[in-house]
Amino acid sequence: MDIELIEIRDFLKVHHPFDLLPEEALETLPTTIEVRYARRGTVMFEPGDDNKFLWVVRTGAVETLDPDGNLLARLSEGECFGVRAILRGGVAVNRCEAIEDSLLYLLPVAEFDRLRKEYPQFAYFFAPMGGDRLRSAREHAEASTEDAIGLMSTKLSDMLKRDPVTIAPDVTIQQAAKAMSEKGVSCLLVTENEKLSGIVTDKDLRKRVVAEGLAYDTRLSQIMTFDPIHIDADEYLFDALLVMSRNNIRHLPVLDGEKVAGVVTTTNIVQKQTTSMVYLVGDIYKRNTVAGLKDVVKQVPNMVMNLVDGGATAHNIGHVVSTVTDAIATRLIQMAEEKLGPAPVPFAWIVVGSEARHEQTAISDQDNGLILDDTYDEAQHGDYFRELAKFVSDGLNECGYVYCPGDVMATNDKWRQPLVGWKNYFAKWIDAPEPEALMLSSIFFDMRSIYGDERLYAELRDFVLKKSTGNRIFLSFMAGNALTHQPPLGFFKNFVLIRGGEHDHTFDLKHNGVVPIIDLARTYSLDAGLTEVNTKDRLKAAVEKKIISKDGSDDLLDALEFISITRLRHQAQQIRNGEKADNFMAPENMSHFERNHLKDAFNVVKTMQSALATAYT
Amino acid sequence: MWKRMFGPDLRREWYLIKMPEGPMKQYYRKPIPWPETDYRELEYLCIDLELTGLNPETDEILSVGFAPIVDQNVILSESAHYLVRPSGELPEDSVVVHGLTDDRLAEAEPLEDVLPHVLMALSGRVLFAHHAPIELGFLNVACERIYGYPLLTRAVDTLELEKRNRQQRNQPLDGGVLRLAKARESYNLPRYRAHNALVDAVASGELFLAQAAHKTAKGEKITLRELMFRNR
């Protein structure tokens, strides 16, 4: 008898997500449905009403409005509504109204639940909309390639299995050596009052004890390394590797807040499988010529492609590429110092923009500057820093990090200033937020010091945050600025495409995808006075400061990751095809699945943008 | 003669007294829907028959499809479709129309076994169909033949209703606008390509929902009588 409802089955079969159901489920599905006709203007349910159905538009059109009357979605043939209410236990949160004469198919909740239970791919389409849906999509994608990227996805806190072997500083070195043998470890963390005060490794025992002929009753505190370089348990294994290769150490203590959580060793990492990109960074510090650095940089595009293929997250890729850029610049500054001698006054080399945010995904232009100590005297020290800036900037250019077209570089006198000069700039931008000031603000508020005297940068940062935090007037300008880039979603929840020209029928995944999220995060961060620069870190920290809701933040994080990784995959594909990588994506080149999730992601951004507009402007 | 003097409601009570137990008596246990009731309070059964021809006395029922309407929803979980085994061979032209062949129908149940299902579903409900005289005529003859009693019911004819609606609004009736597919189109209902008794029954049910919705825009009370098929 079932096949007699062939019309309804055939209709559902070609509409997402029913197309994900197997044939046998589609056969019986129509017999569970109720059919309703709604004249234009009929309200299906209002906030607070009971909703016991998943509604599918067969013909006509339906609008979903939030309680304030804002249009949330316009649904046409084949689209579903009422899901949110079902997932909230059957109480409608929005108003649904027919805006055309509509024929509707109603799937009872019990049947809907049964299908979700039996067919995960179907369930997953309805996972609480937007954010969660993206999240599960991503987790699904990541899980399949987990092993290939253990380094990138393993948090230090997750991999430390044994309790750290610790010892007090006042034991003898013989007692320490005995402890190491007994516990079978190659290093000991020295603690006082549960706080890390030093580290001692078997290499220390060899070099500092045996080779020096020290007595066995020498106190451990005499040979240990004080205040060792360490890392936070929240970081990823990959970060630990970078720190180790950069500092040429083989043991890295891991702290959970103040508490000693464990230690990562090179052995751990080798076991966890090493990849070439880790050596890439180590390699940079061994190069002594610009040509040598250039050779290393050449490998970056390939590395990015491998990372994309390996299923690394866009967040991690941004981290890796930015770290490589940091290392190149750092090495160039070191080379400049070798050539020019030590700096006459303290300085901090700063990077701005995507590199500062740890979000660089390809070799791009350089954006940098120099903060000089206030004791700087132009007549006396001017030449030194001019030459330093020129050396580094030229070197970067040669390596492929071409000169910044907007001249945001340390070679520009304007961006090579003593601390007080920088403070004046920011003061002016914040007090008189004119269009140019806003443009510069959005560049320079994403700033990070990569070399030199960190305190100079910290002082500037604190000054800026003090001026901007809670500054409603300035924030409203920044918020307005953050709304200039909109996700490419139209009124009907369809993609708004670029028309004509070279990029006909595409949308821009950078300016209309990633940038709006970066701008949102920056605004929250300025409001909350956050020191974080990375967009993900900012969004997480903004939750703690109660600037945005946890849900809002999670949704944005997922949207950011989904849009970014889609962009990276698109670029990897272009490179593979021998084309030039760009940010322009054609919807017809995407799967149905990708299109839907991208719409979700854009929708999240849109929602958060309108929330921002309400809150700040 | 007395049939005309007493309405179906009185006759139903009389039948209940004198009728032997069986599907027909079961059918009459529930009252026939009262014409002065608001149409929204009633339940309906959309029925479509596939036939060998149009004469109830000589032609045969080949299949029955039905679906109830409760609370203004077509309830597909209670819908059904039955093939009926004909007593004779099929005339060739009807095979072309329905795509039902002798072979398929030979495995079907005889009308005696199908009719009880129809009566059970129809009991207490308003019958309706697109061009109802056909369905009413054939079902009535079948009941008379099998149980010896006529089928008393109240019915809505979506074709007649459409005709009345159009006449009231001074809209033309030509160009086949009263045919099911055409009538549906004017209410923004989807075009169904498949045709069997159930799809057509559902299609006429949807048409009825649309017609009724358009009649009751202001939410005032409309009785069954206003929608009812006049011939009864």
pLDDT, one tens digit per residue, over B145-157 is 999 999 999 999 9
Exposure pattern of A318-330 as b/e (b: 16+ CB <10 Å)?
A: bbbbbbbbbbbbb
Neighboring chain B residues of A106 at a CB cutoff of 8 Å: 73
> What is the pLDDT, as a whole number, of residue A303?
77
pLDDT value, residue A386: 95
Min Cα distance B185 → chain A (Å) is 11
Largest pairwise CA distance in chain A: 96
Residues in chain A closer than 8 A to B76 (CB atoms): 5, 8, 30-35
Using a CB-CB cut-off of 8 Å, the residues of chain B touching A7 are: 190, 192-194, 199, 202
- A32-46, A385-399, B8-22, B66-80: which range is least confident on average? B8-22
**What's the DSSP call for residue B67?**
E
Q: Say if the Cβ atoms of A4 and B190 lie within 8 Å.
A: no
Q: At CB < 8 A and 24+ separation, what contacts does B106-112 make?
A: B107/B83, B108/B63, B108/B82, B108/B83, B108/B84, B109/B82, B109/B83, B109/B84, B109/B85, B110/B84, B110/B85, B111/B60, B111/B61, B111/B84, B111/B85, B111/B142, B111/B146, B112/B146
CB contact, 8 Å: A112 with chain B? no
Write out the H or E segment, with its range, that includes residue A535.
helix A535-544
Whether B213 and A37 lie within 8 Å, measured CB to CB = yes
Read off the DSSP letter of residue A88. Answer: T
DSSP B9: H
Do the Cβ atoms of A60 and B77 come within 8 Å? no
pLDDT at B89: 67
The sign of the dihedral angle between the CA atoms of A12, A13, A14, A19 is positive
At A141 the pLDDT is: 44
Q: Do the chains contact at B194 and A100, CB–CB below 8 Å? A: no
Residue B166: burial class (beta carbons within 10 Å; 0-12, 13-18, 19+):
middle
Task: Tell me which H or E stretch contains A104.
Answer: strand A102-108
Rounded to the nearest 10 degrees, how much is the dihedral formed by the CA atoms of A95, A97, A102, A107?
Answer: 10
CB < 8 Å to B188, chain A: 59-60, 100-103
Closest CA of chain B from A100, distance in Å: 9
Using a CB-CB distance cutoff of 8 angstroms, which residues of chain A are in contact with residue B82?
Answer: 1
Closest CB to B206 among A33, A42, A103: A103
pLDDT of residue A164: 82
Tens of pLDDT, residue by residue over A333-345, are: 999 999 999 999 9
For residue B205, which residues of chain A lie inside 8 Å, CB to CB?
A: 35
The verdict on a CB contact (< 8 Å) between B206 and A34 is no
CB-CB under 8 Å, A58 with B79: no
Looking at beta carbons, which residues of chain B come within 8 Å of A15? none
Distance in Å from the first CA to the final CA of chain A: 60
Distance from CA of A3 to the nearest CA of B (A): 10
Nearest to A35 among B187, B206, B214 (CB): B206
A:15-44 residues touching chain B, CB 8 A cutoff: 30-39, 42
Q: Among B43, B188, B209, pick the best mutation site for testing chain A contact (most A Cβ within 10 A).
A: B188
pLDDT at A1: 40
Contacts of A100 in chain B (CB under 8 A): 188
User: Which residues on B lie below 8 Å from A30 (Cβ)?
Assistant: 76
- Among the partner residues A7, A34, A100, nearest to B74 by beta-carbon distance: A34
Q: What is the pTM of this model?
A: 0.50
Q: Does A106 touch chain B (CB under 8 A)?
A: yes
Pick the residue of A37, A39, A55, A112 with the most B CBs within 10 A to test the interface with B by mutation: A37
Who among B76, B82, B198 is closest to A35 (CB)? Answer: B76
- Give the A:B interface size as CB pairs under 8 Å: 80
Mean pLDDT of chain B: 85
Distance CA A318, CA B133 (A): 74
Is the CB of B74 less than 8 angstroms away from the CB of A35? Answer: yes
Cβ of B76 within 8 Å of Cβ of A8? The answer is yes
Nearest to B188 among A1, A35, A60 (CB): A60
Q: What are A37-48's pLDDT values in tens digits?
A: 998 889 999 988
Interface of B with A in 43-72 (CB under 8 A): 65, 72
**Are residues A34 and B72, on separate chains, in Cβ contact within 8 Å?**
no
Which chain A residues have a beta carbon less than 8 Å from that of B63?
none
What is the helix (H) or strand (E) element at residue B159, kind and residue range? helix B158-168
Q: B interface mutation test: which of A2, A7, A99 has the most B CBs within 10 A? A: A7
Cα nearest neighbour of A28 on chain B:
B77
Best residue of A4, A76, A106 to probe chain B, by most B CBs closer than 10 Å = A4
Nearest residue in A to B210, CA atom: A37
B189, A8: Cβ pair inside 8 Å? no
The answer to whether A225 and A204 have CB atoms below 8 angstroms apart is yes
B149–chain A nearest CA distance, Å: 29
Instruction: Assess contact for A485 and A546: CB atoms under 8 A.
Output: no
**B183 CB-near residues (< 8 Å, 6+ apart):** B130, B158, B159, B162, B177, B207
Percentage of chain B beyond pLDDT 90 is: 40
Q: Tell me, yes or no, if B202 comes closer than 8 A to chain A by beta carbon.
A: yes
Is A101 in contact with B202 (Cβ distance < 8 A)?
Answer: no
Cα of A64 to nearest chain B Cα, Å: 20
pLDDT digit string (tens) for A278-312?
A: 667 777 887 889 998 998 888 888 778 777 776 67
Half-sphere exposure of B76 (CA within 13 A, CB side): 30
Contact B199 A7 (CB under 8 A): yes
Q: Do A37 and B206 touch (CB under 8 A)?
A: yes
User: What's the angle, vertex CA A413, arms to CA A409 and CA A418, rounded to 5?
Assistant: 100
Q: Which residues in chain A land under pLDDT 50?
A: 1-2, 129-131, 138-149, 271-274
Mean pLDDT calculated for residue range B160-186 = 85
Chain A residues lying within 8 Å of B198, measured CB to CB: 1, 4-5
Closest chain A residue by Cα to residue B185: A59
The answer, for B73 touching chain A at a CB cutoff of 8 Å, is: yes
Whether chain A has a CB inside 8 Å of the CB on B188: the answer is yes
Model pLDDT, residue A286? 79
| Residue B52 in this model has a pLDDT that exceeds 80 | yes
Give B13-26 as a 3 state SS string: HHHHHHCCCCHHHH
